[in-house]
Amino acid sequence: MSDSSDIRKKTGPIPRKPTAAEQEWERNTLVPSLGKSPERQKEFTTTSSYPIRRLYTDADLTEWDAARDLSFPGEVPYTRGIHPTMYRTRLWTMRQFAGFGTAEDTNQRFRYLLAHGQTGLSTAFDLPTLMGYDSDHPLSEGEVGKCGVAISSLADMEVLFDQIPLADVTTSMTINSPAAVIWAMYLAVAEKQGADWKKISGTLQNDILKEYIAQKEYIYPPEPSMRLVIDTFEFGMKHTPKFNVISISGYHIREAGSTAIQELAFTLRDGMEYVEWALKRGLPVDEFAPQLSFFFNAHNDFFEEIAKYRAARRIWYKAMAERYKAANPRSWALRFHTQTAGCSLTAQQPTNNVVRTAIQALAGVLGGTQSLHTNSLDEAWALPTEFAATVALRTQQIIAHETGVTNTVDPLGGSYFVEALTNEVEQAAWEYVRRIDAMGGMVAAIEKSYPQREIAEASYKYQMAVDKKEKIIVGVNEYVTPEKPIEILQIDETVAERQRTRLAKLRGERSAAEVERRLNALRKAAGGGENLMPYIYDAVKVYATLGEVCEAMRAVFGAYEEVAVT
Amino acid sequence: MVEKKIRVLIAKPGLDGHDRGAKVIARALRDAGMEVIYTGLRQTPEMIASAAAQEDVDVIGLSILSGAHNTLCPQLMKLLREKGMEDVTVLVGGIIPEADVAALKQAGIAGIFLPGTSTQEIVEFIQGRASA
């Protein structure tokens, strides 16, 4: 038996004792009705196979205390949201993840999105960039500009943000293992534009733990990787107080096949791990914690997702206030970005994905998200076309302006079902946290492949349920119709050629001696204990490439190889 | 006589680390009674071809979601030909635009499985090839 069902048994639906009135309803109304028209299934479960009861009543909330567990928006434990007025004052940031081809191509898409009412940028990098390789590295062949934009040096970064004022626009960058290097390039562009580092804002994903757990874009072993992350915390604390130096991400954990509870638990335990490493470094909790942010998935199961976001805020508050003794309310409040579930999109009947995405986005909004990305209908096939990306952005605008869900704060607060599910999800997540604590923390758990195994187990079970049609996916295993291929965005190999030419020119024009001198200084510092951010910044400023900087550190740190679990 | 188990190498070529599909397929084929070897991540076509030779597999299953299939698949097929391993069945699963399917088949890929394919369909395809 897998641990996940074990956890459910231990913490799952809290035993309930119906009131006399409810028992009477069961006798007089329910039982006769079931006799005539039985229910469609024996058991009803969420997308994550979590059991859901027929009806939730006050009997499900006997342990629940509205003053303690629900409270008010903007007040602890933040169940109802981190701001007192939520979307009545300010809508969430509509932040569509974009990036493909060269820096010029993506710069154009960024400017298009901003012109159409998008309120923040979010950068997708290609696989070579994510792995710390330049576009002209042999392993980059076939991958340049495919899954995102190719950025090999500060020269590319300058083009990427050309005519986009970094003083005004907040930018999120989905980059992890080479996060410190890409961030240094971004800061260099900001400096060139004359933007004040103290005022610029944005988010660096920089979450290496979930890479070992789920997405697997790692370069170095955990220890030096964690050092780099804490280096960025320390640097950000001092120089960029408004920048989110990390986006602790459950998104990829969920995409790898986890349940909602696993996503919640592993993400928050990752967050605790970063806090513990920063405390070990001697950073004061209330100075770095306000710059930590989170990132969750929005999958199909509407209420399970909403419960997950509400529970996340409660858990983080308790962890920060009680476990780490943070005193600043800004350290307690969990701020998060949401992206609708890429893994829920179907290649079949892609128009249906607009509907899936809208419902998932609505869950994110009812869960109190601070920013949102809605996937495009064609993303089971490729990066989105401009048409598909526009529909995705419009979906958010419709939720914001036409549905009325932004008129009041936490509209689902007090619902028997939502509150009971929030409690259950929270308890199950704490049980995972306790297990990981007992293993010696998240790095130790990763080295034992614990979260990896839990996710693989859940993902296999899900696939089997779909294959057996226990779970219906419209257009895939039911309601299947013949269809024609859709038009998709193609990235051709000229992107790689253009990148190679640009890199060759760059390598010819920059001062080779200066680059070498600064890379040597970085190598030396990597061997010691200093904060590496200033060294990385110095190197990228003279156009040392991403690959060169990452390689300099690889020479000292070594490379990570996982034990593959199947 | 005990029937010889079908031997399958599941491989993740390229830089992509999204291994959900590869792992699910590896386990489903194993549950269907096949001998499955999973290479782990970031395998070059050279590494995959030599692992396939070393393990003497009947089938290679590639999982590619990154858009690099047009580069990686022909490279692997060329290496297999050079090693005289034309009899190995090569399958690709992942995100493959329909426009690329014909060229991949031309290059010698025996089966292409798009998102939404059930594991049973892949099991049956492999069993069908083995008994043919």
**Interface contacts A/B by beta carbons within 8 Å:** 108
Q: Does A57 touch chain B (CB under 8 A)?
A: no
Strand, helix or coil for residue A196: coil
> What per-residue confidence (pLDDT) applies to A118?
82
Nearest CA in chain B to A137: B15
Amino acid at A86: M
> What per-residue confidence (pLDDT) applies to A252?
98
Residues of B with Cβ-Cβ distance to A257 under 8 angstroms:
20, 24
Strand, helix or coil for residue A328: coil
Check if the beta carbon of residue A140 is closer than 8 Å to that of residue A128. Answer: yes
Q: Does A341 touch chain B (CB under 8 A)?
A: no
Gap between the Cα atoms of B49 and B75, Å rounded: 10
Q: What is the mean pLDDT of residues B37-55?
A: 96
Q: Does A257 touch chain B (CB under 8 A)?
A: yes
State the nearest Cα–Cα gap between B101 and chain A, in angstroms. 12
Distance (Å) of CA A333 to CA A298, A555, B1, B4, B37: 20, 39, 66, 59, 46
Contact A127 B98 (CB under 8 A): no
Q: Residues of A numbered 72-101 whose beta carbons fall under 8 angstroms of chain B's beta carbons: which are they?
A: none
Q: Listing from the earlier edge strand, what are the strands of the sheet with A202-204? A: A97-98, A121-124, A171-174, A202-204
C-alpha radius of gyration, chain A, whole number: 24
Check if the beta carbon of residue B61 is closer than 8 Å to that of residue B10. Answer: yes
Q: Does A256 touch chain B (CB under 8 A)?
A: yes
Amino acid at B5: K
Residues of A with Cβ-Cβ distance to B19 under 8 angstroms:
216, 256, 564
Confidence of residue B67 (pLDDT cuts 50, 70, 90): confident
Residues of B with Cβ-Cβ distance to A564 under 8 angstroms:
19, 38-41
Contact A381 B97 (CB under 8 A): yes
State the nearest Cα–Cα gap between B97 and chain A, in angstroms. 6
| pLDDT digits 0-9 by tens, A156-181 | 999 999 999 999 999 999 999 999 99
- Length in residues, chain A: 566
Q: Which residues of B touch A (CB under 8 A)?
A: 10, 14-20, 22-24, 26-28, 30, 36, 38-42, 44, 66-68, 70-72, 95, 97-99, 114-116, 118-120
SS3 sequence of chain B: CCCCCCEEEEECECCCCCCHHHHHHHHHHHHCCCEEEECCCCECHHHHHHHHHHHCCCEEEEEECCCCHHHHHHHHHHHHHHCCCCCCEEEEEECCCHHHHHHHHHCCCCEEECCCCCHHHHHHHHHHHHHC
Contact A128 B15 (CB under 8 A): yes
- Structure tokens given for B104: 């991949």
Q: Residues of A numbered 307-336 whose beta carbons fall under 8 angstroms of chain B's beta carbons: which are they?
A: none
Gap between the Cα atoms of A488 and A376, Å rounded: 11
Contact A485 B19 (CB under 8 A): no
Alpha helices in A123-221, H assignment, sequence order: 127-130, 154-160, 179-193, 209-210
Residues of A with Cβ-Cβ distance to B41 under 8 angstroms:
216, 562, 564
Contact B97 A140 (CB under 8 A): no
Gap between the Cα atoms of A461 and A8, Å rounded: 15
The C-alpha torsion from A80 through A82 and A83 to A84, rounded to 10°, is: 40
**Residue B63's beta-bridge partner residues?**
B93
Contact B15 A140 (CB under 8 A): yes
Nearest CA in chain A to B74: A142
pTM: 0.96
Q: Listing from the earlier edge strand, what are the strands of the sheet with A246-249? A: A93-94, A371-373, A336-340, A292-298, A246-249
CA angle A498/A218/A156 to nearest 5° reads 25
> What per-residue confidence (pLDDT) applies to A113?
87
Residues of A with Cβ-Cβ distance to B39 under 8 angstroms:
564
Q: Does A251 touch chain B (CB under 8 A)?
A: no
> What per-residue confidence (pLDDT) applies to A8?
64
Confirm whether the ipTM is greater than 0.90: yes
> What per-residue confidence (pLDDT) applies to A490?
82
Element (H, E) at A437: helix A416-439
pLDDT lower than 70: segments of chain A:
1-6, 8-12
> What per-residue confidence (pLDDT) applies to A485?
86
Residues of B with Cβ-Cβ distance to A256 under 8 angstroms:
18-20
Average pLDDT, chain B: 94
Helix axes A179-193, A546-557, angle to 10 degrees: 140
